[in-house]
Amino acid sequence: MSTLTTWAIPGPAGTPFQISAGGNFVSFTAGGSYVGMLDPVANHITQWHVPYTMTSPGDILNHNGQIWLTNLGSLPETIVRVDPAANTAISWPLPPAFPGGPRHLAFDRLGNVLFTAASSLAARAVGMLHAATNGLRMWSLPAAVATTSDWIEAIAYDPVHQKIYANVQGSTTNSLVQLDPGTGTLTSWSVAPSHTFASVAVDAAGDVFFLGTDSSWRNIVARLEPSANKLTEWTIPSPNVNEFLALDQAGLPSFTGVFHTPLVGRLNPAVGGVSRSIAPTTVHLRPIEATSEPVRTSLKPATTAVAPKVAPLAPTISGAFTIWGLPIGNDARAVSTDASGELYVTMQAANSIGRISP
């Protein structure tokens, strides 16, 4: 029997969206331009009201005790680092020469910030921020890979092979791209007739997992093995579960869905799956470089003790999948995993943070 632990988010923060579990805390974004931090051991939540109008929730990621997020939706669109110990925020605005605003985040093995960037009119791109020098580098994807009607969304990093991965999605384009930042080589795999969505993760072997739909619009978890040009798909036995994905230490992908779906799932990739070969294409990109003048801001923290609620949660096993159905009145939006394999989710209907202990 699994357990579900929930912590209600105190006001005035709004609905939680993105989440990141790492180190000894869980960070999240919330409506009203709030960044929150849950300490699941001490059972308290600290919140900071940040000076950014985050009309779109962007992304959030814990790294070395710092909270990183993207301010997407208000100008200037920026990459932000919140220091929980110092109660400060530093933001790096993207210069006009860079196309679009920052969307999703990852880190390379040297600690550089990796991000995807796109807007309704600009080209789609992969970017890198070197925070120590305020240096920016960006590779714009050519129209043959991503047009202005496509979106580049999630991003992930393979530290073993030192490659960056992102997904491109649109009405006609659905692909995974791999960028070698050392050479500028961009490799693209079209997954058509399947479709990709806004989640990408790389396991220890360098294989890339993502969520999407197949040619019949059934929800899938898929894995690309770049070294073999092999795509494997697993059909998810539940509807509307195809948006957010995270890998645990064992390489097992967990996922949540859209439309306030009261489900959390996990795939065992050793079971089943349908495979096919897909051929890559390769182009070479030349990056543009710039610097960003950081802006420093003091933040006022508000810390509240929150009593957790714990309830049993019975999983359902269906083929390669384990599915947890949440109690009535709960849902799961974004998902993240910690080092022990526990799943943390944002629960928008209940305005809470949830933890599933498998």
Each of the 358 residues of the chain gets a pLDDT tens digit; together they read 999 999 999 988 888 999 999 989 999 999 888 999 999 999 999 999 988 765 555 799 999 999 999 886 666 788 999 999 999 999 999 887 776 778 899 999 999 999 998 765 556 899 999 999 999 999 999 888 887 778 888 999 999 999 999 999 886 778 999 999 999 999 999 998 888 776 899 999 999 999 988 888 888 999 999 999 999 999 998 776 667 899 998 999 999 976 678 899 999 999 989 999 999 999 999 999 999 999 999 999 999 999 999 999 999 999 999 999 998 888 898 999 999 999 999 999 899 999 999 9
Sole residue written with tokens 């899938």? 220
Sole residue written with tokens 């489900």? 263
Sole residue written with tokens 């999630």? 154
CATH architecture of 2-357: 7 Propeller (2.130)
pLDDT of residue 14: 81
What six digits make up the tokens of 31? Answer: 């409506």
Order of strands, sheet of 125-130, starting from the edge strand that comes earlier in the sequence:
101-107, 113-118, 125-130, 135-140, 288-291
**Can you tell me whether residue 29 is helix, strand or coil?**
strand
- Dihedral, CA of residue 322, residue 242, residue 129 and residue 112, to nearest 10: 20
DSSP symbol at 246: E
276 exposed, middle or buried (CB, 10 Å; 0-12, 13-18, 19+)? Answer: exposed
pLDDT of residue 95: 84
Sole residue written with tokens 């933890």? 355
Measured distance between the N- and C-terminal CA atoms of the chain, rounded to whole angstroms:
8
Q: Are strands 2-8 and 352-357 parallel, antiparallel or unpaired?
A: antiparallel
pLDDT of residue 56: 57
Maximum Cα–Cα distance for the chain, whole Å? 54
1 exposed, middle or buried (CB, 10 Å; 0-12, 13-18, 19+)? Answer: exposed
**Can you tell me whether residue 24 is helix, strand or coil?**
coil
Q: How many helices (H) and strands (E) are present in the chain, helices listed first?
A: 0, 35
pLDDT of residue 146: 82
Sole residue written with tokens 């943070």? 353
Sole residue written with tokens 């079971």? 271
With 0.85 as the threshold, say if the pTM is over it: yes
Instruction: Tell me how far apart the alpha carbons of residues 85 and 90 are, in angstroms, rounded to a whole number.
Output: 13
pLDDT of residue 164: 98
Q: Are strands 2-8 and 309-313 parallel, antiparallel or unpaired?
A: antiparallel
The identity of residue 83, as a single letter, is D
DSSP symbol at 279: -
Q: Which residues contact 86 (CB under 8 A, 6 or more apart)?
A: none
Dihedral sign computed on CA atoms, order 311, 250, 191, 158 = positive
pLDDT of residue 10: 93
What six digits make up the tokens of 205? Answer: 């072997």
Sole residue written with tokens 């240096």? 135
CA distances to 11, 45, 120, 149, 185 from 100, rounded to whole Å, are 32, 33, 8, 13, 22
